[in-house]
Structure 1
């Protein structure tokens, strides 16, 4: 995304070896179709999901302004994820307290989980308390359905989001 780089020299951390692909990571429509809402009713057994599975879904998302994953930048980690029944809470830590990409990162995490998880899950995305100057405003934006829907109608934001999810132009950015 063009503009000011908020953290021009982030700390990069060593990551775990890539895990096997989860069946949850299959690409799905951004919005749930009515046809898919009967999946739970047709299947008597509801498969439980744990924090490691959620972490595997989001750890390989690329930062919108750096050629590194959220795992490499320690923006997300397994202990920052809680799963309680059908409620999933993902807490993430921006690389700097004034990060202008925090909302974009949270939106990307939300979209990855929307596309990957069954519709029975409610997902809350929040900034780690005390890690961002505009923590309350970012959290409000990330957990408001109308604001999320409006953001996803913006072609530039959607392009940046897709690039973060797919890793396009991230490892070898154009000079």
Structure 2
């Protein structure tokens, strides 16, 4: 995972690499990363989460979904998907 933070411009950019090129969980992983950052950072930050270029078969489609604020908001209104994201983010002690 590569993370770039620019405090002056209030931006955070994350690139992550799925385990395999056809990983079915890539969208959920990206959404979970984005939600964690949205919950953790001040509102002023613009957050970009993308798949590392060349590492997933449908990276363009997934990157487009993760960049679309309306799609992310709609995804988080889906109770089952929100439960899955919260399970991904739950700390296990």
Q: Taking structure 2 as the reference length, what is the TM-score of the superposition?
A: 0.92
Q: Give the aligned partner of residue 26 of structure 2.
A: 102
Matched residue count: 91
> Is 2:85 the counterpart of 1:158?
no
Q: Choose between structure 1 and 2: higher helix proportion.
A: 2
Q: Which of residues 100, 115, 131 is equivalent to 2:39?
A: 115
> Is 2:58 the counterpart of 1:131?
no
Superposed CA deviations along residues 84-134 of structure 1, whole A, max 9, x for unmatched, are: 231110000000000111110010011101111001110100000000000
Point out 4+ residue stretches in structure 1 off by more than 2 angstroms.
none
Q: Give the aligned partner of residue 64 of structure 1.
A: none
CA distance in 2, matches of 1:90, 1:99: 18
CA distance in 2, matches of 1:138, 1:99: 11
Alignment RMSD, CA only? 1.4
> Is 2:1 the counterpart of 1:88?
no
Superposed CA deviations along residues 58-80 of structure 1, whole A, max 9, x for unmatched, are: xxxxxxxxxxxxxxxxxx3xxx1
CA distance in 1, matches of 2:4, 2:52: 13
| Greater gyration radius | 1
Q: Give the aligned partner of residue 140 of structure 1.
A: 64
SS in 1 for 2:42: coil
Structure 1 residue runs of 5 or longer lacking an equivalent are 1-75
Residue 150 of structure 1 deviates from its aligned partner by 0.7
Structure 2 residue runs of 5 or longer lacking an equivalent are none
SS in 2 for 1:91: strand
